[in-house]
Chain A
Amino acid sequence: MKGWMGKIKALSLLGFLALILSGCGKENLTALVPKGYGAEVSMDLIILTTVVMLVVFAVVMAIFIFVLIRFRKKKGQEDFIPKQVEGNHTLETVWTVIPILLLIIIAIPTVLATFDLADETEASDSINIDVTGYQFWWHFDYQGEDFQTSQDIYIPVGEKVYFNMLSSDVIHYFWVPSLSGKLDVNPENENTFYIEAYEEGVYWGKCAEFCGPSHSLMDFKVIVVSKEEYEQWVADMKNVDPDEEPESAVAVEGKELFQENNCMGCHAIGSSPVQTGPNLTNFGNRETLAGVEDLDKDTLVKWLLDPEEIKPGNKMTDNYPALNKEDAEKIAEYLLQLKHTDITSESAEN
């Protein structure tokens, strides 16, 4: 019995070590290392509540362990009958009042922070991005700029950027843990909140509301660049020529195939109201394919041949003419060279 228990203890210790080694999770994904205003406010509150709660826990455990050691039935005391205590008003008042005080300590900052983060007064003079959630991808429309992106959002560092969010189908949640807490993307009421990033970088965003088979694959990226880079990026995105001829001959063929195979029915290149599929402008600079896969030719061909294999339940599968491998490769060639700006995630990382 003893040795067996020892093994379990050793095992769980190992587990904890592993946890500490793996640290607080992946940088720019974890909420434990906040890099934006919203995430920081939340983190402050998380720390405050954790500390208060640990104090309470310590008190409970101290009494608990003391009681267990001190008042266990002892040998020879089988017939001992303890005093039957009814209660104690003073004590009971103490443990009613102290928790109330502790809760006030938590409640006040909670309320202040709630109002702080809900503040939208600066929205009208800030960058506004309309977010639409789709099963299982994200669409971003930069208000007043006449261009759209999908999956990747570029924003400037150190500025409040407002997101106005609506869903086109079921409920999604817009969550970029390192930058800010999450907010629902509902089909009815538009929800607004802002992100203010402290550092440049590529941040992982996730859909946190259960939205169907590929819920776990509905990632997006927030790419935070410097103010100048952002302005450059906006200028480039506004000047995209959707009909520009690609350089390589294969890509030219790919472009034709793209047009022939009804891809345009759902995907726009350049600014367009079409939104049944992700906008593919600047596709070659995407961080990932379909939000989750590495962006390379092989994976892209795989996607074009059978998107279901990568994202179950997605709305592209079976809604376009079946492609053969050669055509898929040509289209891939075309899509991957769609690079409409020099501002990429690398700009953010430098």
Chain B
Amino acid sequence: MSIAATQKKGVGAFIWEYLTTVDHKKIAHLYLVAGGFFFLLGGLEALIIRIQLISPENDFITAGLYNEMITMHGTTMIFFAAMPILLGLMNAVMPLQIGARDVAFPFINSLGFWLFFFGGVMLNVSWFTGAPDAGWTAYAPLSTTSPGHGVDYYILGLQISGAGTLMGGINFLVTIVNMRAPGMTYMRMPLFTWTTFIASTLILFAFPALTVGLFLLMFDRMFGSAFFDVALGGNSIIWQHLFWIFGHPEVYILILPAFGIFSDIFPTFAKKRLFGYTAMVFATVLIAFLGFMVWAHHMFTVGMGPFANSIFAIATMAIAVPTGIKIFNWLLTLWGGSITINSAMLWSLAFIPSFTIGGMTGIMVAASVADYQYHDTYFVIAHFHYVIVGGVVFGILAALHYWWPKMFGRVLNEFMGKLAFWTFFIGFHLTFFIQHFLGLMGMPRRYWVFLEDQGLDTGNYISTIGAFFMTFGVLVFLYNAIYSWVKGEKAPADPWGGRTLEWAIPSPPPFYNFKQLPLVRGLDPLWIEKTEGNGKMTPAEPLGDIHMPNNSIIPFIMSLGFFIAGFGFIYQTDYNAAYILLFGGMAIALGSMLVRSLKDDHGYHITKEELEREAD
């Protein structure tokens, strides 16, 4: 393959290219499109939930279907929308920010994506056969005793995609450790790269707990073990511990990259370097570290006793300190700057009050005795949506507007961007603010209906109206994205007056990213060259051949193998014939591994001559 080869056209070739690609930028596209699709599904589920709750004792959907809706909404949004979209952004941006030509293991990068993708498809196939209905937290014994195969799909879907996520995390870690451009020391890395690094560490340590939990659950449900079965000497609380030892760091896996995004956007649009860079880095590390110490604050009411409750309450409150540092440092970054407000900036600015509210209610729920009232009510729903929507989703949307030109070579329309922002922003607060009160007024979460005459009607009604506003905002954004693809203006290399390396190369970047690796002279390397140099990065190496990896279909086939085997695992409890799927699928997966191990694939080189022919 050569530069010319990548230019070939045709729908078939286009699809084949994406099925086999190992290029981090194209894998990013895959993550964004697939994650975006699941986001729409999860959003639709949310809307259905809110319609059901628009009035008391409504019967828009049945109790069983409602429980499937909430389970699928939570699982989809966390694992198949927020996570992959962030992984997509990391893929698109992080290698560029450190001046690398790709990630450390392009093949594994592709494998990680396809595992996630098939995991998500697996979960959603359950809509046709009966979806999981034990909540996204799948507490035992409700999950172990849930009839049908819904929860089995949940287990297998998460297990397959979880393996992919773990690979992604390890890959990013190695990339950042090994592949930084000359001069890009750790303390010169942009904050988005830093948070990618820390979030990947969290993935590395948190996901195994989920994997173990899911395996135990799988054995209980499919192979007759009794880890969580009290009657046979098991213990159901263990599941909660395993789940939250994963689940709490998961929150930081989502929010830290969002912090990184804002830490890159504010300096760009305030034209001012990040205030307190070192403190920002260490605050991130500290949040991540403390994030592992607080899981049991999800379990204050389990009956752990006052000692455990007090310790976890205080540990949780401690997280507010580094988070507070971050909020004030962002404000001080803006202070004294010259602030431009566009769509990317609107999402970032809106994050500050929204997330601050989420953080404050976080302290409120951390006060264990107060939590006896909040726990498992709409107050908690409100709290974590303020954090996850007001933090993560706002972050994702800010990032999409900010890096869209770099990722797709087009600029998003500003008017539509603002329209989407305002409707979504207003809708978001309408939907969730009132839920704080609903919770305290006696509305537990996961309620299919609330009764008449309990003072909960108005709040729920307002909340549902808000959900429609949010839906409208999302649709406008979707239209904007498609519009930019068809008709959007072409993006220049550096549309925003960027400060970091990704803005030093064309939009979209050539598939080898940097013709010559850049020499980094400090924090915000491009900004340094703009203010102290000639505005261009100085190359750190002479022009030479570039070594590139070959595309491969093996990751796709291997993931397909696990996908097929997943059905085998699920249905072997009913039919012996399912073993054909189980062993067949595993054979495909293991066979692909064998081929990958035995077949030498040294990649190819882009020659110096070819590079010289390319215009700058």
Contacts and interface: CB of A to CB of B under 8 A. Distances in A.
Interface string B451-469: 1011111110010010000
Contacts of B338: 71, 73-74, 77, 80-82
B12 to A, nearest CB: 46
A188 B277 contact: no
A31 B373 contact: yes
Contacts of B236: 171, 186-188
Given A85-B272, A313-B63, A41 B455 contact: no
Contacts of A74: 338
Contact of A30 (B341, B363, B370, B455): B455
A88 B373 contact: no
A159 B273 CA distance: 62
15 contacts: A24-B441, A26-B456, A46-B373, A67-B334, A67-B335, A71-B337, A86-B276, A92-B329, A99-B320, A111-B310, A171-B141, A171-B142, A181-B369, A184-B302, A210-B135
A28 to B, nearest CB: 9
Given A30-B440, A56-B360, A87 B376 contact: no
Interface residues of B, number: 96
A213 interface: yes
A76 B313 CA distance: 52
Contacts of B332: 85, 88, 91
Contacts of A110: 310, 313-314, 367-370
Given A91-B328, A107-B317, A188-B235, 13 more contacts: A22-B458, A25-B440, A60-B356, A67-B335, A85-B336, A86-B275, A88-B276, A103-B320, A118-B309, A208-B444, A210-B139, A216-B447, A217-B449
Contacts of B465: 15
Nearest to A107: B314
A189 to B, nearest CB: 6
Dominant secondary structure of chain B at its interface with chain A: helix
Contacts of B442: 25-26, 29-31, 177-178, 204, 206
A175 to B, nearest CB: 7
B448 A213 contact: yes
A210 B5 CA distance: 56
Interface of A: 5, 8, 12, 15, 18-19, 22-26, 29-32, 38-39, 41-43, 45-46, 49-50, 52-54, 56-57, 60-61, 63-64, 67-68, 71-74, 77, 80-88, 91-92, 95-96, 99-100, 103, 106-107, 110-111, 113-115, 117-118, 169-171, 173, 175, 177-178, 180-184, 186-189, 191, 204, 206-217, 219, 292, 312-313
Nearest to A190: B303
B360 A57 contact: yes
Contacts of B324: 56, 95-96, 99
B603 interface: no
A128 to B, nearest CB: 17
B370 A208 contact: no
Contact of B441 (A30, A63, A207, A216): A30
Contact of B309 (A77, A95, A114): A114
A23 B456 CA distance: 10
A183 B459 CA distance: 26
A4 to B, nearest CB: 10
B153 to A, nearest CB: 18
Contacts of A212: 67, 142
Contacts of B310: 110-111, 114-115
Interface string B355-386: 01100110110011111110111000000000
Contacts of A100: 321
B139 A171 contact: yes
A19 B459 contact: yes
Shortest beta-carbon contacts, A-B, top 4 = A181-B372, A25-B441, A87-B276, A216-B447
Nearest to B349: A68
Contacts of B450: 216
B313 A114 contact: yes
Contacts of B533: none
Nearest to B144: A170
B63 A312 contact: yes
B174 interface: no
B78 interface: no
B305 interface: yes
Contact of A106 (B230, B367, B375): B367
A189 B141 CA distance: 14
B325 interface: yes
A57 B357 contact: yes
Contacts of A39: 373
Contacts of A26: 441-442, 453-456
B352 to A, nearest CB: 6
A188 B230 contact: yes
A111 B230 CA distance: 31
Nearest to A110: B367
A169 B444 contact: no
B145 interface: yes
A176 B275 CA distance: 48
Contact of A187 (B230, B302, B335): B230
Contacts of B539: none
Nearest to A204: B442
Contacts of A113: 368-369
Given A29-B454, A61-B353, A181-B369, A83 B440 contact: no
A215 B63 CA distance: 9
A83 B331 contact: no
Interface string B187-225: 000000000000000000000000000000000000000
B334 A49 contact: no
A16 B565 CA distance: 53
A15 B430 CA distance: 9
Contacts of B44: none
A15 B438 CA distance: 14
B451 A31 contact: no
A184 B331 contact: no
Nearest to A61: B353
A287 to B, nearest CB: 13
Nearest to B357: A57
B352 A64 contact: yes
Nearest to B340: A73
A337 to B, nearest CB: 27
Given A68-B349, A92-B329, A215-B447, A81 B531 contact: yes
